[in-house]
Amino acid sequence: MSTRQTAVSLQKVSRHFGAVRAMESVDLDVGEGEFFAMLGPSGSGKTTCLRLIAGFEQPTSGTIRIFGEAVEGVPPYRRNVNTVFQDYALFPHLNVRDNVAFALMLRKVEKAERYRAAEAALEMVKLSGYGDRKPGQLSGGQRQRVALARAIVNKPKVLLLDEPLGALDLKLREQMQEELKALQKTLGITFIFVTHDQGEALSMADRVAVFNAGGIMQVGTPEDIYRRPRTRFVADFVGSANIMPPEFVQSVIGTSQWASLRPEALHVIKAGGGASALTGVVTSRSYMGSTTRLAIDLKGLKLHAVVPATDDVPAEGDSVTIGFAKDALNLLESEA
């Protein structure tokens, strides 16, 4: 963390639902103006964490602070945060302008003023001129932008986004990723983004927290998380990884410890006449456009490699020679 002010802080926060421990003793600090992603599979605790920050849930134990103020027991409408949901939660009977201005109407803001603010918010999300339309007349991407405009019109200090791109098709999702990043830079406020999509987290966030089983496995920059995972779970969930057993690692670098090795770090060539300590057989291959994914049996050790599709890609059944840089082996703190 830099010396910037802490926007959101969780200290030993737990949330239990009867016997279910949705979150257990989580510590987390998110900086002011940071684009922060919470990444994890379903049931990992990431959405519970977001709901605790928003005020939709209350912690079983622990302390949550937003810009230094403890917020346990403080209702959502009294917290300086706004939430964008995956289903957008727009009012179908109101036009776009009134949807965006709704919260300002509840605060008794004069009509002309709230409409000016709504139009400014719509301009920021590239929907100028759409104010008179109803949500049913918009595409999924446009409805998502309306939900964003409604969230930012109140000028919150923290914007919470609960898998807001999950309902969009791939091309639109990628476009919205770029737009969200640009919007966050323009606004300069803290974004906390929940997703189960590791590609979204890595491409958008300044830092990522990887959740599993109600706890945080690792927090770091996207590069840290991808290149230096601490556990087998993080290595497997963020991208994909070959998990190398201690005896193999010891034979390569002299250290008996579990390690991860990314598929793209492997160099694969068809085996020639020369002997090699690392030879295997291609058991399957999958064409993925710009790359080809190979499954390789390395004398009983199953590996995956990703190679450029333009290369002379070995066929199933081919014998191959495997190579990699020793520093591509990332030692794991835990096999789990």
Average pLDDT over residues 249-274: 88
pLDDT digits (tens, 9 = 90+) for 286-317: 999 999 999 999 989 999 999 998 878 999 99
**What span, in angstroms and rounded, lies between the C-alpha atoms of 138 and 257?**
54
The reported pLDDT for the residue numbered 226 is 95
Same domain, 268 and 231: no
Average pLDDT, the chain: 91
- Asked if residue 80 lies in contact with residue 32, where contact means CB atoms within 8 angstroms, the answer is no
Residues 279 and 216 in one domain: no
Residue where a domain terminates, one of 195, 211, 237? 237
Confidence of residue 2 (pLDDT cuts 50, 70, 90): very low
Asked whether the beta carbons of 7 and 191 are under 8 A apart, the reply is: no
In single-letter form, the type of residue at position 69 comes to E
Domain presence at residue 1: no
Average pLDDT over residues 206-228: 96
Q: Is 4 exposed, middle or buried (0-12, 13-18, 19+ CB in 10 A)?
A: exposed
Whether residue 281 is contained in a domain is answered as: yes
| CATH code at position 200 | 3.40.50.300
CA atoms within 13 A on the CB side of 245: 7
What band does 1 get if pLDDT is binned at 50, 70 and 90?
very low
Q: In the structure, what pLDDT confidence band is assigned to residue 177 with cuts at 50, 70 and 90?
A: confident
Residues of the chain with pLDDT > 70: what percent?
96
d(CA 106, CA 69): 24
Q: Which of 92-96, 174-178, 228-232 has the lowest mean pLDDT?
A: 174-178
Residue 308's domain comprises 242-331
Number of structural domains in the chain: 2
Q: How confident is the model at residue 180 (pLDDT cuts 50, 70, 90)?
A: confident
Structure tokens at 154: 């109140």
Q: 246 and 231, same structural domain?
A: no
Boundary-marking domain end, from 182, 208, 237: 237
pLDDT, mean of residues 109-131:
92
Q: Cα(71)–Cα(169) distance, rounded to whole angstroms?
A: 37
193, 218, 237: which is the final residue of a domain?
237
Residues 263 and 165 in one domain: no
